[in-house]
Amino acid sequence: MTEAEFSGAMRVLAGLLEARTGQQLAANRMWRIETAMKPLLRAQNIANLEDLVSRLLSGDERHLLDAAVDAMLNNESSFFRDLSTFGMIERELLPHLAASGKQTVRIWCAGCSTGQEALSIAMLIRKYPEHWSGCRVQILATDISSSVIARARSGLYSQMEVQRGLGINDLLRWFEPAGDDWQASRDLLDLIDYRVDNLLEPLVPPFHYDLILCRNVLLYFSVELRRKVFDNLVSLAAADGHLILGAGETVMGQTDDFVASRDFRGSYERRIIHPAQMRTGSAGGLR
Ligand SMILES: C[S@@+](CC[C@H](N)C(=O)[O-])C[C@H]1O[C@@H](n2cnc3c(N)ncnc32)[C@H](O)[C@@H]1O
């Protein structure tokens, strides 16, 4: 399908996706709309994309709109996605946070999809109970899609999903067979608070998070909306907080509020504003 062949209905749907979530569908992903919508059209007995769009534009079918937007989101995820990043988190960043002297360490997985990322962090915490004595850990995991949050809360993963990134030892230690699927242990799930939330207008508890993972989410945002999300993230990050993006993502050219960490490779830290900069205003504003 060429760009000229995308139907008006496809363009309207892509527009709804962007308006609701910030996600832009590049021309080479527009062709997916038709396939992505097939289950919804079938379930709702709707003949084609044009009929779907006219029902959506009639404006009073909130559930249908949510389901259509949900169907277009890319929810790709896996356990310990990017081994080098999770190796650094395990060996360096989590021990550093555990030794920080804070009573509660707060971690936020923003755009968590079906929960593999939050569970990967939870496994790395539960693996070293000796690091965390005297320190509470809370993992908040949010996503704009209510269907992925429902799946994440269930803690159920297919054989195919657990094969992606989970070693056999971790599988047997933290999951139990449940029919054809695998059930994550209560011990892991109890660490995680899953919530539906939009990164463009976050309503998450206004704590200062010590570690924020926002991975493979901002890739398809426009430059303006990406900046808006970075503003939201920095306002919710602890002064000594860390940010980790996906392997192909960077803050460079997007925000001045985070800088590459010298100590924790692959992570970003909040930029420290020196008092002299505050006086001259050269830091570009205070937070
Ligand atoms: C490709 S998945 C990445 C999942 C996980 N972070 C990882 O790297 O494996 C991107 C997730 O971001 C979510 N998302 C997209 N736009 C969002 C928004 N505006 N607010 C919150 N979540 C959003 C999608 O629903 C999807 O589940």
- Same-domain status, 214 and 138: yes
Please tell me whether residues 66 and 186 are part of one structural domain.
no
Is residue 228 within 8 Å of residue 252, measured between CB atoms? no
Predicted confidence pLDDT, tens digits, the chain (287 residues): 555 556 889 999 999 999 999 999 988 778 889 999 999 999 999 999 999 999 999 878 999 999 999 999 999 999 999 999 999 999 999 999 999 999 999 999 999 999 999 999 999 999 999 999 989 999 999 999 999 999 999 999 999 999 999 999 999 999 999 999 999 999 999 999 999 999 999 988 888 999 999 999 999 999 999 999 999 999 999 999 999 999 989 999 899 999 999 999 999 999 877 666 555 544 333 33
Q: What is the pLDDT of residue 194?
A: 98
Distance in Å, CA 214 to ligand 1 centroid? 8
- Whether ligand 1 lies within 6 angstroms of the CB of 148 is answered as yes
What is the per-residue pLDDT for 59?
77
Ligand 1, residue 200: give the atom nearest the CA. Answer: 19
Q: Which two tokens stand for residue 266?
A: 């692959």
What is the count of structural domains for the chain?
A: 2
Confidence (pLDDT) at 87: 97
Same domain, 122 and 19: no
Query: Considering the domain boundaries, does residue 283 fall inside one?
Result: no
133/169 same-domain check: yes
Q: Tell me the CA–centroid distance for residue 280 and ligand 1, in Å.
A: 38
Residue 209 to residues 20, 113, 118, 241, Cα–Cα distance (Å):
25, 19, 14, 6
* 242 pocket-lining for ligand 1 (C-beta < 6 Å): no
- For residue 200, the model assigns a pLDDT of 96
Q: Phi-psi bin for 253: left (phi > 0), alpha (psi -120 to 50), beta?
A: left
Cα(27) to ligand 1 centroid in Å equals 20
Query: Residue 160 and residue 119: Cα distance in Å, rounded?
Result: 16
Is the minimum distance from the CB of 22 to ligand 1 under 6 angstroms? yes
DSSP E strand boundaries for the chain? 104-110, 136-143, 156-157, 175-178, 181-184, 192-196, 209-214, 237-245, 258-260, 268-270
- What domain range is 22 assigned to? 3-72
Strand 156-157 versus strand 181-184 pairing type = antiparallel
Verify that 42 and 100 share a domain, yes or no: no
**Residue whose C-alpha is closest to residue 56's, from 22, 14, 26:** 14
Residues 52, 161, single domain; the answer is no
Do 26 and 120 fall into the same domain? Answer: no
Distance 218 CA to ligand 1 centre (A): 8
Nearest CA owner, ligand 1 atom 13: 111
Please report, for residues 12, 69, 142, 146, 192, the alpha-carbon distance to residue 9 in angstroms, rounded to integers and kept in the order given: 5, 13, 30, 24, 39
Decide: 149 and 196 in contact? Cβ < 8 Å: yes
Q: How many CB atoms within 10 Å of residue 10?
A: 21
Domain shared by 184 and 212, yes or no: yes
Task: Give the residue, out of 201, 217, 222, with the most ligand 1 atoms within 8 A of its beta carbon, to mutate for a pocket test.
Answer: 217
Residue minimizing CA distance to atom 10 of ligand 1 = 217
* Residue that terminates a domain, selected from 37, 72, 107: 72
Residue 213 in any domain: the answer is yes
Judge whether 286 lies within some domain.
Answer: no
Per-residue pLDDT, 284? 36
Question: From the CB of 85, is ligand 1 less than 6 Å away?
Answer: no
Residue 114 within any structural domain of the chain = yes
Identify whether 252 is part of a domain: yes
Q: Which pLDDT score, from 0 to 100, does residue 286 have? A: 31
Locate 222 and state its tokens.
């426009």
Q: Are residues 118 and 183 in the same domain?
A: yes
Q: Do 24 and 135 sit in the same domain of this protein? A: no
**Atom of ligand 1 lying closest to residue 20 CA:** 19
Question: Radius of gyration over alpha carbons of the chain, in Å?
Answer: 21
The CA-CA-CA angle for residues 46, 52, 53, to 5°, reads 165
Domain of residue 263, CATH code: 3.40.50.150
Assess if residue 97 is contained within a domain.
yes
* Residue that terminates a domain, selected from 72, 98, 130: 72
Query: Is the entire prediction scored with pTM above 0.85?
Result: yes
Residue 8 alpha carbon to ligand 1 centre in Å? 26
Query: Which of 27, 47, 72 is a domain's end point?
Result: 72
Ligand 1 midpoint to CA 75 (Å): 6
Residue 49 shares a structural domain with residue 184: no
Residue 216 lies in a domain: yes
Question: CA distances (Å), 116 to each of 41, 113, 140, 149, 215, in order?
Answer: 29, 8, 13, 11, 12
In a domain, 285, yes or no: no
C-alpha of residue 159 to centroid of ligand 1, in Å: 22
Same domain, 183 and 148: yes
